Amino acid sequence: MSVLDNASVWSDRLREDQAILQAQLSPAQDVAVRRILDGVLAGGQLEFLVVYGSVSRGEQRAGSDLDIYYETRDEAVELEEADPESRWHVFGAASGALLGSLRLGDEMAFAIVSDALVVYDEGAFQALVVAADEERLEPTTPSVDVPEHQRDSRRGG
């Protein structure tokens, strides 16, 4: 059983993620995240939304973009979008897509999960992380973008 299956542990994780987001996001990035969240929530099908990449790792620079991934129960909402000035990228997918990619060993899926700061979760992201931990899922080849200690730091144990 994964330690992240514990409600108290998960609640602590969510509080930590919110504190990190508050510290890491610029005011413009925070507005962008809230606008995207509100837009996706309006459909009533959102399962989770996370920020990942350099911003979530605290490695952003002046030209860094903001990476957002979400899943929804509405398959029609799948999208990939970027703003014209490349300040953010949004990847939306149908429910279960990220877990499916993890099970296939996709490096990008592991990078998203290891970097993820949870903005919104109805329980689907927690279930995904628990499943990945309990199934001991691993990338087919280690990601060169995410150091080993960061890949394993959010998995629980």
Instruction: Return the exposure string of 114-130: e unless at least 16 CB atoms fall within 10 Å of the residue's CB, then b.
Output: bbbbbbbbeebbbbbbb
Closest CA to 55 of 92, 87, 84: 87
Burial class of residue 27 (count of CB atoms within 10 Å of its CB; 0-12, 13-18, 19+): exposed
Residue 155 — very low, low, confident or very high, per pLDDT cuts 50/70/90? very low
* Contact partners, residue 89, CB within 8 Å, separation at least 6: 65, 66, 67, 68, 80, 81, 82
SS3 of 48, please? strand
Containing H/E element for 13? helix 7-24
The Cα 4–Cα 14 span in angstroms is 11
pLDDT at 88: 80
pLDDT at 106: 96
CA–CA distance from 96 to each of 59, 65, 74 (Å)? 29, 25, 11
pLDDT at 73: 87
pLDDT at 111: 95
The pTM is what? Answer: 0.82
Q: Could you give all domains of the chain from N- to C-terminal order, each with its CATH number?
A: 3-153 (3.30.460.10)
Q: How many CA atoms lie within 13 A of 15 on its CB side?
A: 6
The Cα 150–Cα 115 span in angstroms is 8
Residue 84 — very low, low, confident or very high, per pLDDT cuts 50/70/90? low
Condensed to tens digits (0 to 9), the pLDDT of residues 92-128 reads 899 999 999 999 999 999 999 999 999 999 999 999 9
